[in-house]
Amino acid sequence: MTLEKILHSQGFGTRRQCAGLILAGYVTVRGELVEDPSAEFELEGLPFTVDGDGWIARSKLTLVMHKPAGHECSRKAVHHASVFELLPPPIRERGVQPIGRLDADTTGLLLLTDDGQLNHALISPRRHVPKIYEATLKHAADKSLCEQLRTGVLLHDDNETVRAEAARLLYDTLLELTISEGKYHQVKRMVAAAGNRVEALHRVQIGGLRLPDDLAPGGWREITATELAAARSSPGAS
């Protein structure tokens, strides 16, 4: 693929803009200055820089992020900042999307990708990919709350009983809940239906992938192959 097309595919502007960057001497490939937009390279894994910033070209890009509170999982955020504001322009421009949205006040593990098949595989209820949350409760609870959630509760304005795949108390006001569906405000509504209230919500795991320890709130990076395989897995709930 020509270097001009590679830059375009990686979110650096129109093909004409990318050609301009190359001709102006802003682009290096494997540490060498390249000023020919038509120079050809293999895209996947190609190391390059644009104006001194280093990148690795990917045909499909998946990111892992520690979503902070006060951010909406939308490009057109209404009441809060957007999680896309945490990403550099080229990544925003190439069209990554959240794999399942978190509420503005919910924190924790968020995956973003421009791989439509991966997105579908991780959010489809038929795949039963578990998501684990830690919910801070307003009222102290006991094991009966967990039993209700595992047995199933009827959500307000919903005709179907919804149950957790697993539920346990880490403390009397901290609940670990595993679900594989993605209903609107599901964890909060389930806890409310069981007679309590969620004061704070944090997602810690998708499939077999836990929120990496090296990511502070607002931090993000490209997912590793091992992490991606873990996210695709569906370990049995404990």
**Domain extents for the chain?**
3-56, 62-125+211-232, 130-206
Q: What is the C-alpha to C-alpha distance for residues 138 and 201, in angstroms, rounded to an integer?
A: 12
Whether residue 80 contacts residue 72, with contact meaning beta carbons closer than 8 Å, is answered with: yes
The encoded tokens of residue 231 equal: 């996210």
Domain 3-56 and domain 62-125+211-232, same fold? Reply is no
CA distance 63 to 17: 25
> For residue 149, how far is the Cα from the chain centroid?
25
103 as an active site residue: the answer is: yes
> From the candidates 103, 105, 114, 157, which is the catalytic residue?
103
Counting Cβ atoms within 10 Å, is residue 160 exposed (0-12), middle (13-18) or buried (19+)?
Answer: exposed
Pairing assessment for the beta strands 198-206 and 107-113 based on DSSP bridges: parallel
pTM, rounded to two decimals: 0.90
Q: What is the pLDDT along the chain (238 residues), one digit of tens a residue?
A: 999 999 999 999 999 999 999 999 999 999 999 999 999 999 999 999 999 999 999 999 999 999 999 999 888 777 889 999 999 999 999 989 999 889 899 999 999 999 989 988 888 777 778 999 999 999 999 999 999 999 999 987 777 789 999 999 999 999 999 998 878 889 999 999 999 999 999 999 999 999 999 999 999 999 999 999 999 886 644 3
CATH of domain 3-56: 3.10.290.10
Q: Which fold has domain 62-125+211-232?
A: Alpha-Beta Plaits (3.30.70)
Look at domain 130-206 and name its CATH class.
Answer: alpha beta
